[in-house]
């Protein structure tokens, strides 16, 4: 199975509107779904900065690496999950289905990690 097929399967998770694969350097590898007029390159760079900050924080606190970073706002939810040498970034218009998104995405992330 290819990354495109897996991303399209993931888009069937209720509540997800878009998914991006972002390299740890901030380069956008692939997207699926509707991100609207968002500048994907700027978003990819921002995601990489957040992940780098989280990595630094876990190192300073002598913690294991973070498995998931979730950002919630009143009108959106963004979840970043490391997979291979990249980050899977999932977007939802609200966080009401966060539990379902997290549960179902965990089934697909390992397959993406093997391809990245």
Q: CA torsion angle for 49, 32, 18, 36 (degrees, to 10)?
A: 90
pLDDT the model gives residue 63: 86
- 99's enclosing H/E stretch is helix 98-115
pTM metric for this prediction = 0.87
CA distance 112 to 41: 21
Domains in the chain, start-ordered, CATH in brackets? 3-115 (3.30.450.30)
pLDDT the model gives residue 105: 87
SS3 77: strand
Rounded to an integer, what is the distance from CA 4 to the centroid of its chain? 15
Span 8-48, pLDDT tens digits? 999 999 989 999 999 989 999 999 998 888 899 999 999 99
């Amino acid at each position: 199975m290819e990354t495109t097929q897996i991303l399209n399967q993931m888009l069937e998770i209720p509540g997800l509107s878009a998914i991006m694969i972002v390299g740890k350097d901030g380069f956008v590898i692939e997207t699926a779904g509707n991100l609207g007029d968002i500048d994907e390159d700027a978003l990819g760079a921002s995601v990489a900065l957040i992940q780098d900050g989280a990595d630094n924080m876990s190192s300073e606190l002598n913690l294991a690496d973070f498995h998931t970073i979730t950002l919630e706002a009143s009108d959106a939810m963004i979840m970043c999950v490391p997979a291979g040498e990249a980050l899977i970034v999932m977007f939802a218009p609200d966080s009401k289905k966060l539990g379902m998104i997290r549960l179902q995405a965990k089934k697909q992330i390992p397959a993406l990690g093997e391809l990245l």
